[in-house]
Amino acid sequence: MVSQASWLLARSAVTRAGDQFAQVLTAAPDPAALATRHWSIAQTAAHVAAVAALDARLLQPDQVPDPFPGIWDALPGTTVDMVADLNEQMLALFPERDPSALAQQLKEDIARIVDAADPDPDRTVTWLGGSRLPVAGLVAHLLNELLIHGRDLARATAAPWRIGSPEAALFFELFLLELARCGYGRLLDTDQPAPVGRIEVEFRSRHLAPFTFVMDDGLVAVAEPDRPDVRLRFDPAVLMLFGRVSRPRAVLTGKLQVWGRRPWLLPGFFRILRVPD
């Protein structure tokens, strides 16, 4: 069950992040400048706005016009390996690139999502790959998109941007853990070889309660700790940025500590337990 304190933080954090994202976006001197390896500032903002539009429609299908006709049939079969292609399809169906228009639509959709989720943040919806996710987890995922891609925009424009660890922790508490508990469907299906046997990984952070994932022949579940093979102590803001902040750097700066009986199993574990970018 989603705690009231976590939901209140998620609700306020996603609104603040949306406002800050919009501010950085509309102040960008050149929306055509690259914000990521492949996307301009305008394209990156359109991606985040498209995710918010998808979520708004998902939560209020009778009230929100369909922004992506033809996409919905593809969602149940979408795995993590296919998310990049899905993102490109959504961008092609979402033509808006004007920063002011994107900022306005993004803030409106965030307000709509929060309002729709507020009465019952534990209500589950069907998400990518046929997974089930509480609507608070949907908000936490959108917050993650805003924080990561807001950082991309800020780096491209030399604007200040801070990812707070308590806000980043919501991604693990409300999204990742709830995804595993409620059922991730086909989302983690991959052609990558799954580790054989059992791997138990314990996660610890001062920003959320300890939790443990167990992987049995590639199948992931939340479990009570028994004999952890790997123990992690981490700063959620750094672990959330894997792919943008190198793991060796995270270790050297003390933001990630790894130890345990069999720490060499961790790369195989993370080869399966990946999340949509």
Q: 135-163 pLDDT, tens per residue?
A: 999 999 999 999 999 999 999 999 999 99
User: 198-272: same fold as 4-182?
Assistant: no
| Reported confidence tier of residue 247, pLDDT bands at 50, 70, 90 | low
Neighbour count for residue 23 (Cβ, 10 Å):
13
| Reported confidence tier of residue 246, pLDDT bands at 50, 70, 90 | low
Task: Kindly tell me if the per-residue pLDDT of 253 is higher than 80.
Answer: no
Please tell me the CATH code under which domain 198-272 is placed: 3.30.1050.10
* Alpha-carbon span 18 to 241, nearest angstrom: 18
Give the pLDDT score at 137: 97
Domain locations in the chain as residue ranges? 4-182, 198-272
**Can you say whether residue 164 is alpha, beta or left, with left for phi > 0 and alpha for psi between -120 and 50 degrees?**
beta
For a pLDDT cut of 90, what percent of the chain falls above it? Answer: 86
Q: 159-177 pLDDT, tens per residue?
A: 999 999 999 999 999 999 9
Task: Kindly tell me if the per-residue pLDDT of 239 is higher than 80.
Answer: no
Task: Kindly tell me if the per-residue pLDDT of 2 is higher than 80.
Answer: yes
Task: Kindly tell me if the per-residue pLDDT of 238 is higher than 90.
Answer: no
Q: 41-97 pLDDT, tens per residue?
A: 999 999 999 999 999 999 999 999 999 988 999 999 999 999 999 999 999 999 999
Is the CA virtual torsion 97, 102, 105, 106 positive or negative? Answer: positive
Provide the β-strand partners of residue 134. 124
Find tokens 């022949």 and name the residue: 217
Q: What is the mean pLDDT of the chain?
A: 93
Task: Kindly tell me if the per-residue pLDDT of 241 is higher than 80.
Answer: no
Strand ranges inside 67-167, DSSP E = 124-126, 132-134
Q: Are 134 and 124 in contact (CB under 8 A)?
A: yes
Give the pLDDT score at 83: 94
Give which of 181, 149, 180, 163 is closest to 236, Cα–Cα: 163
* Alpha-carbon span 274 to 272, nearest angstrom: 6
* Alpha-carbon span 153 to 21, nearest angstrom: 8
Give the global pTM. Answer: 0.95
Task: Kindly tell me if the per-residue pLDDT of 14 is higher than 90.
Answer: yes
Give the pLDDT score at 254: 79
CATH 3.90.1150.10 describes domain 4-182: no
Give the pLDDT score at 164: 93
Give the pLDDT score at 275: 72
| Reported confidence tier of residue 276, pLDDT bands at 50, 70, 90 | low
SS3 144: helix
Angle between helices 4-27 and 135-157 (to 10 degrees): 30
Angle between helices 41-59 and 4-27 (to 10 degrees): 140
The tokens of 145 are what?
A: 């998109």
* Alpha-carbon span 119 to 109, nearest angstrom: 17
What is the separation, in whole angstroms, between the first and last Cα of the chain? 25
Residue range 231-243: average pLDDT? 81
Burial per residue of 173-194, b for 16 or more beta-carbon CB atoms within 10 angstroms, e otherwise = bbbbbbbbebebbebbbeeeeb
SS3 205: strand
The tokens of 37 are what?
A: 């390896």
Task: Kindly tell me if the per-residue pLDDT of 245 is higher than 90.
Answer: no
Q: Are 52 and 106 in contact (CB under 8 A)?
A: yes
Give the pLDDT score at 251: 73
| Pairing state between β 230-234 and 198-205 | parallel
Please report, as a single letter, which amino acid is at residue 90. M
